């Protein structure tokens, strides 16, 4: 996993200035990890929830994907959650996942 700080833009024009490159196998694990958290009712929410997302609506929303599923745009709560597993020195900013093979 590698962090980059090049700007990327979502469909709605939001700027994402932090990206993590992962392989498709690593992404499969991260997506499973996230889907299990949602399925179990967010038991770890105190570790990642953004103060503005106390009802977890943006965390539990489908992950926004673009460019034939090679970029996944995350909310701040989702980025914090994924970083519980990745343990990278991520900053608290708009983050996307780049799926590389």
Give the model confidence (pLDDT) of 54-77 as tens digits: 668 878 887 766 655 688 999 888
Q: What is the pLDDT of residue 22?
A: 94
Q: What is the pLDDT of residue 26?
A: 92
Percent of the residues in the chain that have a pLDDT greater than 70, as a whole number: 88
Residue 21, C-beta contacts closer than 8 angstroms, at least 6 positions apart: 1, 2, 3, 4, 98, 100
The residue with greater pLDDT, 28 or 68, is: 28
Q: What is the pLDDT of residue 52?
A: 66
Average pLDDT, the chain: 86
Report how far apart, in Å, the C-alpha atoms of 33 and of each of 15, 26, 28, 30, 86 are: 26, 11, 9, 5, 11
Report how far apart, in Å, the C-alpha atoms of 34 and of each of 9, 15, 27 are: 23, 23, 10
Q: Where are the domains of the chain?
A: 2-100
């Amino acid at each position: 996993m590698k962090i980059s700080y090049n700007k990327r833009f979502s469909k709605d024009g939001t700027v994402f200035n932090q990206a993590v490159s992962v392989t498709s196998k690593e992404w499969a694990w991260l997506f499973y990890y996230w889907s299990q958290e949602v399925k179990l009712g967010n038991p770890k929410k105190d570790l990642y929830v953004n103060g503005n997302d106390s009802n977890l609506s943006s965390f539990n929303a489908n992950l926004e994907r673009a460019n034939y599923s090679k970029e996944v745009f995350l909310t701040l709560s989702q980025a914090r959650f994924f970083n519980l597993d990745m343990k990278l020195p991520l900053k608290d900013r708009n983050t996307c996942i780049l799926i590389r093979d």
